[in-house]
């Protein structure tokens, strides 16, 4: 049981480039989330998904897109990278039935230059 | 909207001593969940402890315990017998009990960096 996995661990992008951050979970959780963590700040929600085929925006969705074709995978797409997207990105998941705890992946550190 | 405030950007404690990290929150809801997450230098987010607002008894997990004051909207974390491995950033987080949609998201404070001195 690997829990929540994320790839890559670290990436440097040039302004205007695109990339996809991968997230997978093997706990059969229905809810999945993408957060970003800026220096000195807590995590903010980018997008979330309540199940395969269903996604919705969080607090800071601009510049990102997501898809969820399977229960296990929830990739985050950056189309035109900007310096403001330099951050650490966390994927999380939980089984939504009341107070289920969210489990986090190890994070992806992204640097946009 | 709910907010979570951690007023101590940094704290330090001597090994084997006790330290308390503060967290206050603002909400109009009567039922919710509160969490403390630990983020070591590896950046992995690790759940330390959680509290359900309808439970009056304070949660405890080994050396970690909370002081939950619902009326004061305060949720502090006490670490007893501090160990070098406790050094990390600690985040307080809030989650509503309302179901569906983005209600399951966590609202985080800005964190408290804990240093443990040998």
Residues A1-21 have pLDDT tens digits of 679 999 999 999 999 999 999
Rounded to whole angstroms, how far apart are CA atoms A69 and A52?
5
pLDDT of residue B100: 63
pLDDT of residue A98: 54
Handedness of CA B58, B96, B22, A39 (dihedral sign): positive
Count other Cβ atoms within 10 Å, centred on residue A46.
Answer: 24
Q: What share of chain A in percent tops pLDDT 90?
A: 79
pLDDT of residue B50: 93
Q: Which domain holds residue B28?
A: 3-117
pLDDT of residue B101: 61
A42·B111 Cβ contact <8 A? yes
> Of the candidates B42, B50, B108, which has its C-beta nearest A43's C-beta?
B108
Is 90 exceeded by the pLDDT of residue A40?
A: no
Distance from CA of A104 to the nearest CA of B (A): 6
User: What phi and psi, each to the nearest 5 degrees, are found at residue B71?
Assistant: -65, -35
Residues B1-34 have pLDDT tens digits of 789 999 999 999 999 999 999 999 999 888 889 9
pLDDT of residue A44: 93
B4 reaches A (C-beta below 8 A) = yes
Is 80 exceeded by the pLDDT of residue A52?
A: yes
Tell me how many domains chain B contains. 1
From chain A, pick out residues whose CB is under 8 angstroms from the CB of B111: 40-42
CA dihedral A7, A38, B39, A111 (to 10 degrees): 40
B102 reaches A (C-beta below 8 A) = yes
- Smallest CA-to-CA distance from B9 within B115, B112, B91 is with B112
From chain A, pick out residues whose CB is under 8 angstroms from the CB of B90: none
> CB-based contacts of B62: which residues, under 8 Å, 6+ apart?
none
CATH of the domain at B26: 2.60.40.10
B106·A43 Cβ contact <8 A? yes
Residues of chain B with pLDDT under 50: none
CATH number of A4-96+105-112: 2.60.40.10
Q: Which residue of A has its CA nearest to B101?
A: A50
Maximal C-alpha separation, chain B: 46
A99·B91 Cβ contact <8 A? no
pLDDT of residue A99: 59
| A-proximal residues of B, 28-87, CB under 8 Å | 33, 35, 37, 42-47, 50, 52
CA dihedral A109, B95, B2, A78 (to 10 degrees): 30
Confidence of residue A71 (pLDDT cuts 50, 70, 90): very high
């Amino acid at each position: 049981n690997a829990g929540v996995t994320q790839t890559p661990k670290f990436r440097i992008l040039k302004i205007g480039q695109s990339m996809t951050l991968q997230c997978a979970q093997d706990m059969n959780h229905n809810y999945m989330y993408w957060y970003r963590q800026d220096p000195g700040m807590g995590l903010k929600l980018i997008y979330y998904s309540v199940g395969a085929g269903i996604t919705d925006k969080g607090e800071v969705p601009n510049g990102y897109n997501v898809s969820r074709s399977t229960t296990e995978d929830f990739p985050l797409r950056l189309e035109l990278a900007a310096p403001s997207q330099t951050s650490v990105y966390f994927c999380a998941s939980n089984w939504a039935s009341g107070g289920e705890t969210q489990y986090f992946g190890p994070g992806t550190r992204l640097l946009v230059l | 909207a709910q907010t979570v405030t951690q007023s101590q950007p940094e704290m330090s404690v001597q090994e084997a001593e006790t330290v308390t990290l503060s967290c206050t929150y603002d909400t109009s809801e009567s039922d919710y969940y509160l969490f403390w997450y630990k983020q070591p230098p590896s950046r992995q987010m690790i759940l330390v402890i959680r509290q359900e607002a309808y439970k009056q008894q304070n949660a405890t997990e080994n050396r970690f315990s909370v002081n939950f004051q619902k009326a004061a909207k305060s949720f502090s974390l006490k670490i007893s017998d501090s160990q070098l491995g406790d050094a990390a950033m600690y985040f307080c987080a809030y989650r509503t009990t309302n179901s569906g949609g983005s209600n399951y998201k966590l609202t985080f404070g800005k964190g408290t960096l804990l240093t443990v001195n040998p």
